[in-house]
Structure 1
Amino acid sequence: MDDIAKTDYFNDVLEDRATVILPEKGEQLLLNDIEFTFKVTSEMSNDQLGVYKITLNPMAIGAKLHYHRFMDETFIVDKGELTIQVGEEEYKAGVGTIVYVPRFTPHGFQNDTEEKVELTLLFNPSQKREGFFRGLQETLMEEPIDPKKYLKLYNKYDSFPVDTSNMIPKREP
């Protein structure tokens, strides 16, 4: 009964839980021709938001056509020209372009240029997306890539390829 008596139901309890992430800070993962930097993680945001900086080297594929069931994804192009497919449409997204992709919307993205593309990627909620990126690093570094392992990783982290026969983010020679 004492705990109930001490609880203040009428006033907010303010907390200082902000995080400031400087441009050069954040955990980095390198994956063949893509670099990921974790800015706002699932742990920081109580799994509500994930913010990641992505650098795609020339001709790099970020992801083939897929969708999410439980999270929305937002792309903000910071440098270069990102090719993004949303549904049946393909767009050339230049600097400053924002592409909001709600759940159940098929999408994929890649760099079709000879210049680096940099973007900010947001997931809401984040669904522990850092585990997905770490798993991608492990899975895509293997030769040959195991499609079953790749699909298992995808599905665990709320990603569903539209075509499982064309889901590995590699360009065909």
Structure 2
Amino acid sequence: MSPLFVSRLLFVCFLLNEAIVLGRTPLEERKRIILPRAMPLPVLLLFIPFFFALELPGVWGWWTVMAQAVGLGTALAAQLQLALAQSFSVSATLPAQPQTTGVYRALENPIYVGILLQMAAWSFWMPVTFLAFALQLESCRRMVREERKYLSQLGVAHRGADSFLWN
């Protein structure tokens, strides 16, 4: 099994997870999601490595796969933690119980970090998909600004190792 094949499988897992999350989200909550107008572009760009991909030399392909796996695992662990706390939300203004334990002890936004890590690793196979990563980073920054504003109303301030990404 080649690293590119495993990377593609992980990417499909990422897409399935995102589809499940959106599918389980009530319509009124989906309307609150803050997405850039150009969001269809990064989604289309992410599919380029399915058809055209660079061959990464030596163990670089496996390092890329490992980065994708860590990103997927981080995002899934954070989603599970939020689901167990009944605080999972895709919009910035709905979680009632901010988390500061588990995955959230080290990271302010582990779901975003996981998604960005997966997208960055995926872009190693086809560098033009790095544009999708850049657009997603900007989208995450917008969401974090809204989340921070909401959390300040609740009197909660949390900063993690990833906080430098959101400023």
TM-score, normalised by the number of residues in structure 2: 0.30
Higher helix share: 2
Q: Please, what TM-score do these two structures have when normalized by structure 1?
A: 0.30
Q: Which structure has more RCO (C-alpha within 8 Å, separation ≥ 6)?
A: 2
